Amino acid sequence: MHLLIRSARVVDAASPLNNQVVDLHLENGLIRQLSPSGSGSPMPVPDGARVIEGANLHVSAGWVDGRAAANDPGHEHRETLTDLAKAAAAGGFTDVVLLPNTHPVIDSKDTLGYVRRMGEGQPARLHPTAAITKGTKGEDFTDMIDLHRAGAIAFTDGDHPLQNPDLLLKTLQYLQPFGGLLINRPEDTLLTRYGQMHEGEQSTRLGLKGMPAMAEAILIARDLRLLTYVLDGQPTRPSTPMLHFACLSSAESVALVRQAKAQGLPVSCDVAAHQLLFTDADLAGFDTNLKVNPPFRSAEDVAALWDGLADGTIDLIVTDHHPHDEESKNIEFDMAEFGITGLETAFVALLTKANEQQSASGTSIRPESAGTSIPGVSTLGTSILGTLVDRFTVGPRRVLGLPAVSIAEGQPATLTLFDPTATWTYERPITPAKNSPFLGKTLTGRVITTIL
């Protein structure tokens, strides 16, 4: 099979072709030839080749979503794994990391094998994580060595933060010999019990129980201290992360991880795309599609998250995709489930926000426009577009131990093609779930296709 991509601008900071417009000839899953566009005669079209071209076509390594909730097995009426993979591909993702909070939980080789088998032949690769504790109940350990050998990409209790410090300590020790990654979403659940949104002035005005940012920072500080204890006395420290913090939402959390990295601790972290787009003030209308955990916090916290992206403290952006049925969301705010869908809109929603704020400042987010900024949020050292692509490509592959993807001749073609300036209205979700704050909204940036 031949595929010819005409005049696509490369977005890949590590490539010598970065920001160049090139033609790509793909054959049987490999990049056979690359040539700069306009360098002479155009690349000939091979017999029977499909041609992809567009006015503002961009190409990058295939995007990776480091955190999505699977509802299959157990709640297929919300979303099957096939639905999830189709939504991922539509949103530009070639790879998706799945949480273990299915029914039954991914805590055995049988359930892990089911998810891996269901992922075969899908339009996006599915990488299941495995639970640390049986049933993600935080009590008894799973057989993590067997699960690792069976293909688990990392270990986490997913939506259930590890509360027991002894469990976390022993997990770090258990995973270290084979380089396993522990992922924990930091939340002291005793401090957030019955909480509905960020604890602050807005929660008081709305009469909703608050969830303090302190609950997140306390668990990060605890986990970092336990990691230090595990590493004390060892002659060298691992070069890859041992402990990953999921879904940071507060300024203090970013500061703690930044300090830990400066001290050489093998840690990494991510932020959910929607955390960069909303604040607690947006909940004034009690829109249940904006009810997430961790909750949207203050404008100062959002600014700190953007700063964490700018200086590399935050390694990757995730969708934190959580599909729900109508009965779980179209009810009173305090009764609604936490979570939004994000696979189809995460990247373009971020790009839309950047476009809006950059238009207000009279600057451009085109990749060749370095040193752009989001007014009132942060100044990114590279272009906003380049930084976002990096956190969806290089960052997750490094943290999760996935093979690097290069846009170079002879390399496998795992690519995302997109137009960062196209506008469209998000009206018909591919996934059955409709719990998105972006439905009916006009977005800037559109995925053309993925190549896997």
Q: Read off the pLDDT of residues 240-263 as tens digits, 9 standing for 90 and up.
A: 999 999 999 999 999 999 999 999
The answer to whether 385 touches 347, Cβ cutoff 8 Å, is no
**Adjacent-strand bridge partners of 446:** 419
Query: Binning pLDDT at 50, 70 and 90, where does residue 40 land?
Result: low
Question: Exactly one of 320, 325, 334, 419 is catalytic; which is it?
Answer: 320
C-alpha closest to that of 416 among 54, 89, 86, 3: 89
Query: Binning pLDDT at 50, 70 and 90, where does residue 368 land?
Result: very low
Is position 320 annotated as part of the catalytic site? yes
Full set of structural domains in the chain with CATH: 62-406 (3.20.20.140)
* Span 59-77, pLDDT tens digits: 999 999 999 999 999 999 9
* Span 342-367, pLDDT tens digits: 999 999 999 999 888 766 655 444 43
| 3-class DSSP assignment, residue 4 | strand
392-417 residues labelled b (16+ CB within 10 A) or e (exposed): bbbbbbebbebeebbbeeeeebbbbb
Q: Phi then psi for 188, rounded to 5 degrees?
A: -80, 100
